[in-house]
Amino acid sequence: MKQHLVEPGKTIKLAELDPQGTGKFKGGKEDGLKEIAKLNGELQELQELLYAEGKHKVLVVLQAMDTGGKDGAIRRVFDGVNPQGVKVASFKVPTAEEMAHDYLWRVHKVVPANGELVVFNRSHYEDVLVVRVHNYVPKDVWSKRYEQINEFEKLLAENGTTIVKFFLHISKDEQKERLQARLDDPSKHWKFSVGDLAERKLWDDYQAAYEDVLNKTSTKHAPWYVVPANRKWYRDLVISTVLVDTLKSLKMKYPAPKDDLSGVAIE
């Protein structure tokens, strides 16, 4: 999946990346779903190993435009994993307590501990996305945050956290279809907000903000992947593949038993 990696130091343009594409994958949806099922089994085993060994920490960051598929990706990619070792942290409008601290305070509290895999559904990047687009703070404030975030992630990495970040890239037309589907289905009205339409009008501003995020904060220790996400199955395939490869690269082993079990007999 290196084709979707944002190479540190290189500049990408989102308009040049096809959200409908399937990269170099030669099969269609049916083949993709079979591969995802296989990867899900591998991910379950690797996550169990991560939890059992208790030495590594893994942070997964998911960012996307509204309807980009973060919730769906979490449901499908992590289906069947051990809930003891996997946590999901969502970042909404900051509380009064959070606003009284620096913007990374609420983030640092929920990063993974040894043996944990934590998924950020939105993240600290909101402070250079929505904050920037809506001018909640001056440019001379948010523009400094790219380097601050890089240093924060470097701190986590140097203390044993493996970080992988995914931007789920959908088209504006696809977002329209997904919003309309929510509006047409009463069971999905809870997911629809009139405010989503106001945010949609800022599409170009958000695309520019995301480009800066991807180009300024994809590093060797915390890389970004731009995931073509119009096709949900391909989105899940990319995320699953990268996560399985990432966990395999940790070279984990089950810990030795605390006691000598060679002569143990259960009657």
What average pLDDT does the segment 118-141 reach?
Answer: 97
Residue 262 has pLDDT above 90, yes or no: no
**Which residues does 203 contact at the CB level (< 8 Å), separation at least 6?**
65, 172, 175
Check whether 260 has a pLDDT greater than 90.
no
Phi, psi (degrees; rounded to nearest 5) at 132: -70, -50
Residue 120 pLDDT > 90, yes or no? Answer: yes
Instruction: Using the predicted structure, report yes or no on whether residue 1 has a pLDDT greater than 90.
Output: no
Average pLDDT over residues 19-38: 94
**Domains detected in the chain:** 2-171+204-248 (3.40.50.300)
**What does the alpha-carbon distance between residue 130 and residue 134 come to, in Å, rounded to a whole number?**
6
pLDDT confidence tier of residue 263, bands split at 50, 70 and 90: confident
Over residues 175-185, the pLDDT tens digits come to: 999 999 999 99
Percent of the chain with pLDDT over 90: 90
The answer, yes or no, to whether residue 5 has pLDDT greater than 90, is: yes
Higher pLDDT, 236 or 92: 236
Number of residues written out for the chain: 267
> What is the average pLDDT across 219-225?
97
pLDDT in tens, 63-109: 999 999 999 999 999 998 988 899 999 998 999 999 999 999 999 99
Q: Which residues contact 60 (CB under 8 A, 6 or more apart)?
A: 117, 118, 119, 120, 164, 165, 166, 243
The mean pLDDT value for 119-136 works out to 97
pLDDT of residue 238: 98
Token digits of residue 219: 């590093």
* Contact between residue 232 and residue 69 where contact means Cβ atoms under 8 Å apart: yes
Q: Quick check: 24 pLDDT over 90? A: no
pLDDT at 26: 87
Model pLDDT, residue 53? 96
In DSSP notation, the chain reads -GGGB--TT----GGGS-TT--TT--S-HHHHHHHHHHHHHHHHHHHHHHHHH---EEEEEEEESTTSSHHHHHHHHTTT--TTTEEEEE--SPPHHHHTS-TTHHHHTTS--TT-EEEEES-GGGGGTHHHHTTSS-HHHHTTHHHHHHHHHHHHHHTTEEEEEEEEE--HHHHHHHHHHHHH-GGGGGG--HHHHHHHTTHHHHHHHHHHHHHHH--SSS-EEEEE-SSHHHHHHHHHHHHHHHHHTT---PPPPSS--TT----
What average pLDDT is seen over the chain? Answer: 96
In the chain, the amino acid numbered 95 is T
Question: At 155, which amino acid appears?
Answer: L
Q: What is the dihedral of CA 69, 141, 193, 74, to 10 degrees?
A: 20
In sequence order, the β-bridge partners of residue 88 are: 119
